[in-house]
Each structure stands twice: as structure tokens, then as C-alpha cells.
Amino acid sequence: MIIEFSMYYLSFLPLWISIIIIDAVNLGRGTTNKWTEIISMPVIMLGIIVCSILAYKWLTKKGIINREKYKVEKAKEERFVTAEFIMSYVLPLFAFDFTQWDGVLLFSLFFSIFWLLVHRHKYFCTNLALEFCGYRVYECELQIGKETISKLIVSRNELDGLVGTTIRTRKYNNDYHFEVGVEQGGEER
């Protein structure tokens, strides 16, 4: 649940950065209600730092829990999945007035309800922070034994160029896996 929330929180990175900028500008202008900005800026920055550290630790964690091996039969990069998420879920949140307490409370209610839905349905929010770190989403057909399955793989490697190669993944949910290693000639890299 902690990694799910970290990924969820980081998926709203453009919003958090925008709120910090809006709050800093309002403080510079000498707003009359400066406590909203004084409280929200450090809380948002702390959230970004903590969630980034937790996500990094999860992504780089060694071990065999939730690990699976697949042979890549077909891979196609989903080029606009992050942009679609930002346009559909993040952009509408700019309608809230983050300089007033009532706007922050309404946003918090909406954000919490959305989190409950994301958590309950194990939804993976595509993530601009992952994009900045070089990760991309691929729709893949994978072979496991004699069976071919479809999965969405989040990877730093260009999976469309690794057809015929065996990859190791870490399961995030039933649909999404993170690629954590590539085997070529029996060696993992």
C-alpha cells in the first residue's frame, strides 16, 4: 500500500510543482492568508521527497518476491499514456483554489476519494516522475512456457528492440509489471 500511494502521489507531480509556484508567488505578493501557503509548501515538498525515496527503493530492490520471467514476443510503446493521464486527471484539479482553505479542503476530499478508488482497484497511475527517470510503458505479448499473455510493462529499456529476449519483471498489479532485468545469452544485465 505504501508503494501504491507513493506512485499515486508522484503521478500528480505537475500539480504539486504548480501549487508550490502559486504559493511562492502569493507569498511574494504579500497575500493576506499566508498560512495556507506556509503550511502547504513544506508538506508538498516533504511528500515529493518521501514518495520519491520510497519509489526508488522499491524500483531498485533486489530479491525474488513478485518476480516473473517472460520472453518478449511483441512490444509496442504506449507513447501518450502519461500525457493522457495528465490531461484527464491532473489538469482538471487546477480548478481548485489552492490559496484558500476551502479550496484546499475540497481538493483534499477529491484527492482522498480518488486515492481510495485507485487503491481498491489496484490502478496504476502513469507517472511523469517515472518518465523523467527514463521509464516508458510498453504493451507486450509475452511468452511464459507455451502460453502467450498480454501485459503492460514499465521499463527503462526499449522493449520493442528486445523481441525474442527474456526479461525479468516485478509485479505491480495484474496488468502492470516493472522490468527489472534482461537476459541475453543466459546472462542477466
Task: Give the pLDDT mean for 111-134.
Answer: 82
How far is the first Cα of the chain from the last one, in angstroms, to the nearest whole number?
29
Task: Give the pLDDT mean for 90-97.
Answer: 73
Check residue 48 and give its pLDDT. Answer: 92
Q: Any residues with CB less than 8 A from the CB of 41 and at least 6 apart, and which?
A: 20, 23, 24
Asked if residue 188 has pLDDT above 70, the reply is no
Query: What pLDDT, in 10s, does the model give residues 97-108?
Result: 777 788 888 888
Q: Which of 55-69, 73-87, 143-157, 174-188 has maximum average pLDDT?
A: 143-157
In the structure, what pLDDT confidence band is assigned to residue 50 with cuts at 50, 70 and 90? very high
Per-domain boundaries in the chain: 2-188
Query: What pLDDT, in 10s, does the model give residues 134-167?
Result: 888 888 888 888 888 888 888 888 888 888 888 8
In the structure, what pLDDT confidence band is assigned to residue 80 with cuts at 50, 70 and 90? confident
Asked if residue 64 has pLDDT above 70, the reply is no
Check residue 110 and give its pLDDT. Answer: 86
Check residue 63 and give its pLDDT. Answer: 61
Check residue 65 and give its pLDDT. Answer: 63
Check residue 187 and give its pLDDT. Answer: 52
